[in-house]
Structure 1
Amino acid sequence: MAGITIQDGDDGGIRTFPFPVERSVSGVGVQVGPMGEGRTWHAEAPLERIHRIDFHIVMIFSDGPVRHMIDFAEYEATAGDVLWIRPGQVHRFTDMSEYRGIVLAMQPGFLPRATVEATGLYRYDLPPLLHPDEAQLAALRAALAQLQREYEDTETLPLSLHTAVLRHTLTAFLLRLAHLAASSAEAARQQADTTFILFRDAVEQGFATNHSVSAYADALGYSRRTLVRAVRAATGETPKAFIDKRVILEAKRLLAHTDLPIGRVGAAVGFPDAANFSKFFHQHTDVTPAVFRAELR
């Protein structure tokens, strides 16, 4: 990705920073507070450069838009969005003065194993950027506000009980967050299914004249990137490969079951120039149209 600067670590790679326990109230394995300038994970961690962290970050935005890079993909978050970064993911902040909202940082091992599994803390297949609806957002904010109050209250309970309450309150928040992440992934899958079906039908109608992925995307009202993701999720291949396979299938049918001249077969599948058709067919089948027809007869 253009513009990405690699931050060198001691071994020449991207540096990984640990959870800053010393910056937590009472030294517990969780932090909650406002986003903005002055917040950092480590004195040697320049947030505007690529780095890894070995803990979880959850940011709920109250303003935006803000662009944030996670695993070399750019995400744009705005007011009401949630960004969940998991341990080991490569990421980079933009100007910290643009970040507004509440951020939660959580150390691996702070929660028991059963809770970790129930909340899907290491589901790297789930999307990092979440868009809760109004009710979901209100519930998340309320749960996080309660967690922040418990986090900052170091007077009413001894440390052992304070930590136990934090774990339970954090679990309640994470269960809501995990449900949102899982349902968002399912909605994205359904959207991808719908997008692919529309694309598949459009190709079936137009492959004889239209071989352009961008043209299909424009006609369907999707970005090229959205179309690529949907087709890859459904078929494991690119939209261009899907189109080409349909063109080749039709060409094979015409070569096998009709006596049309090869030039006419090419024209019927969108290649008015016979030489270009023969080249295309050979690239995808390793034989020329003439050889393919001869082998069948």
Structure 2
Amino acid sequence: MVTPGQLPQATRTDLPTPDYDTDDIATGALGDLAPEPGWPRPVLLDADLLILVTGGHGRAELDFRALPCRPGALLRARPGQVLRCLGPQLDATVVRWGTGTLNGLGVDPEAVPAYRQLAGEDEDAVISEVTQLAVDAERHAGVPAATALLRHQLAVLLLRLTLLPGAPGHAPRPETDTFKRLRREVERGYPHTRRVEDYAGRIGCSVRTLTRACLAVTGRSAKQMIDDRVALQACRLLAATDESIAGIGRRLGFPEPTNFGRFFTREIGVSPGAFRAAREQPLPVGVVRPRPPADSPVRSGPA
């Protein structure tokens, strides 16, 4: 059996810069994700990641949710999310891939749990597969023929994770397809409109149908889900960038800063300025965090 402490030195290779090819797969160390030692504030991610904790104890803050981290903890992070990892000598192996890596392999990364504390045979299998992927990524770096090998290794790893008990794909509901279509449309349209009617028109159903689907999957209405997504993006940008508050508001469809301030304060409980001022404080801090999306760590399987 391979234990976390036996992960090879190959896992500490540098992660690619943001202009990596869409088919690239790379492995690296947790510290490679932070631009400064100590993770002084959250980092805005630009790629799909799997993070397997291999040593130490601490926590990850993924989209403002504090998740306990010890050896065997697994996080699935997506582009656009914000991440900060804190803890004494917290180590992890990071697997990173581009948008085109899994094309044609029949893998749904959305079915991978966002957070899981692995144990037993599941932990042994995942550690072995991550280790082999890291070794091959280092050994065959720059070899075109290795691309297919790494893609299939990643696909097998993700498929294994989708089969874990409690993974998102294990409990389909009749409303799930409608909800997923709405979520896709919201991802495209939230900077431009928060009207449920606009999304219903794009999908080709009624506002009532969208609301019923959202209530069934998340317990919140379609309008609340859309506002949650806008508020989450505002929190991400306030925490992980230095863009002006007015600029963030304009980016999210609020030409007037006062309207953005009222919206943010209503949704989060504090002003945008107060939220930004607290970004260098580890969780918990005295603010109300944005509500999680349906596939967030707190909804995707047990801790």
What is the TM-score with the length of structure 1 in the denominator? 0.46
What is the TM-score with the length of structure 2 in the denominator? 0.45
- From the two aligned structures, give the one with the greater helix fraction: 1
